[in-house]
Every structure is written in structure tokens, then in C-alpha cells.
Amino acid sequence: MQPATAARVDQFWDDGYLLLNGFFSPEECDVMKERMALIVEAMDVPAHCRTEFSTEQEEQLQAQGSADYFMTSGDQIRFFFEKGVFGKNGDFLVPKECSLNKVGHALHSLDPVFKNVTHSPHVQELIRKLGLMEPVVVQSMYIFKQPGIGGEVTPHQDATFLHTEPLGKVIGLWIALEDATLDNGCLWFIPGSHKRGVTRRMVRTPEGSMPRTKFIGEERQFGEEEFKPAAVRKGGLVLIHGEVVHRSAKNTSDSSRHAYAFHIMESRNGKWGKENWLQPTAELPFPSLYT
């Protein structure tokens, strides 16, 4: 394991991201992959994902169902699919284990395997080295990046979607469960971009509105030459500052790029944005990372 030395911690705060190869063992990665395979095998695919709608009214109902399914997923384990994986009768056009974009957003609390990983002693030790005093876990997701169809993730900042007051309270932990390479869609970052602030936010719209969210502000334009690749081997951990600009390309290779990721917030002297799409619930308040 690459140790998180004081120099490397400084590097994280300077660059906005940090790669730690060997943070988890290949065996630990396989346990997570095997657990997700069981979750996918038992999944109940919601009707709005399977059904092809033909009238304007039905399309509106589909959009409402999809929006509600996403907006209420913060304390659930739910399934989000790649485009074009269902036929007109709702049947899978690809093996169902190859149809998913991600599973989220409460694996860290509702599944024992992912809960243990999230709260593992070496994760807690790492976050303590960063100086966080009262971190809470706000969301988690399993990302598949399917071979051939794994979609592009355009340049963005996590703080656009996970806003805190003040800024700078969110950190992502991204665990490579398979090698993440230039060919299968590894992450790319703009070093130091977390120091430039956030110019765009996704916020909730008034209750009953469609769409359920909207963007305020404008995203900056970024040059291709600004991005640096962050290829990482199976078991590697990527620390992601909430304001650093990052992206990943479409996976056009024949190799998947599975990852488990979760976000934490320093709750000491920090508040969760009330307009965020994701909100804690009475059933699942944000749990402390250190418990």
C-alpha cells in the first residue's frame, strides 16, 4: 500500500486529487464484486425502466417515475441503467449484469459488505490524516463502466451536485475494483482546479415541479490539454476533492471498469445544502464515518 505520508496529504490539498495504489487488496475487491453480482441477480427492475411509452401522457408519467426513483434513492439501493439496454417489450437486450450504469445511493448503510468497506479502519485512518474531525457519509454508488457501452462522464465538480456551506467540505473516495486504464475509461483531472470555485449548481425545483432539478450558473469551458489521466490498478484508491474538475471517457474497450465510490462531508463547521437533490431522511441520517 502506498502510505498517505504528510507530503502526499499536502499533494492532495494542492492538486485536488490523490492516487493511492494498493489501498485495498485484490481479495477485498473481489468480495465487493461478488456481493454486487448477488445484488444484481436479485434486483427488481422498476417498470419505468422496462416499458416503452408511446403517448405524450405516458412519456410524462415515465419521466415523473424516473425522477421520483432518482430523487428518493438517497436512503435506498436502486438501479440505474445504460441507454438502449431494454427492448420495446421490456426485455434485456444484453445480459442484465451488463446493463447497469450504477447502483446507489445507500450501499454504505444498507449492505453489510459495502458498509464494512466504507467504515474500514484504513479508510478512517486516511481521513483522519486529512484532518477531518466529524466526517459523515452522504452517499455511495457502485459504478460499472460497462465494456463497449459504459457512458462518458463529462467534466464536472462533485460540489455542483453535493453543495455545502461553506464550500470545501466534500471529499470523494473512489475505489478501483478492476484496473482503470486509458482504454476503459479511467478518471482524468485538472490539477489545482479545486481552487477556482464552483460556477454551477444542480438544485431542487419546487415540490411537484417537472423536472425535479435544474442547473443554475454556467459551467466553465476546459481545454483538453488541462486534463491529466489517473490510471490506477485494481485495489487503488483515488481521493477526490469536491471542487476538482474531473471526467472520464466512454468505455469503448472490451474490459469493464468497476468501482465503488462514496462521498463524505466534514460536518464540523459545515452545513449540507438544503437545495441539494440528495437529502438525509429520518430513516437514514448521514452516518458518522468514525463509528
- List of residues 6+ apart from 102 with CB closer than 8 A: 80, 141, 142, 143, 144
pTM (predicted TM-score): 0.95
Q: What is the mean pLDDT of the chain?
A: 93
- The DSSP code for 183 is T
Q: Give the tens place of pLDDT for each residue, 240-276.
A: 999 999 999 999 999 999 999 999 999 999 999 999 9
Q: Give the tens place of pLDDT for each residue, 38-55.
A: 999 999 887 777 755 544
- List of residues 6+ apart from 7 with CB closer than 8 A: none
CB 93 within 8 A of CB 139: no
Nearest partner of 105 among 138, 135, 128, judged by Cα: 138
Burial per residue of 88-122, b for 16 or more beta-carbon CB atoms within 10 angstroms, e otherwise: eeeeeebeeebbbbbbbbbbbbebebbbebbbeee
Q: How much is the average pLDDT of 177-185?
A: 97
Is the CA virtual torsion 162, 206, 196, 165 positive or negative? negative
Q: How much is the average pLDDT of 96-109?
A: 95
CB 277 within 8 A of CB 213: yes
d(CA 215, CA 261): 24
Cell of 172: 470523494
Nearest partner of 76 among 42, 110, 116, 44, judged by Cα: 110
pLDDT over 70 (residue 175): yes
d(CA 178, CA 33): 9
Pairing of strands 246-248, 187-189: antiparallel
pLDDT over 50 (residue 82): yes
User: Strand runs (DSSP E) across 67-196, as ranges?
Assistant: 77-81, 100-105, 135-143, 153-156, 164-165, 170-176, 187-189
> CA-based angle 167:170:176, to the nearest 5?
145
Classify 274 as helix, strand or coil: coil
HSE-CB at 269 with a 13 A cutoff on CA atoms is: 4
Topology, domain 6-272:
Jelly Rolls (2.60.120)
pLDDT over 70 (residue 229): yes
- List of residues 6+ apart from 78 with CB closer than 8 A: 46, 69, 70, 103, 104, 105
Nearest partner of 70 among 173, 161, 136, judged by Cα: 161
Name the amino acid, one letter, at 17.
Y
- What is the structure's pLDDT at 1? 75
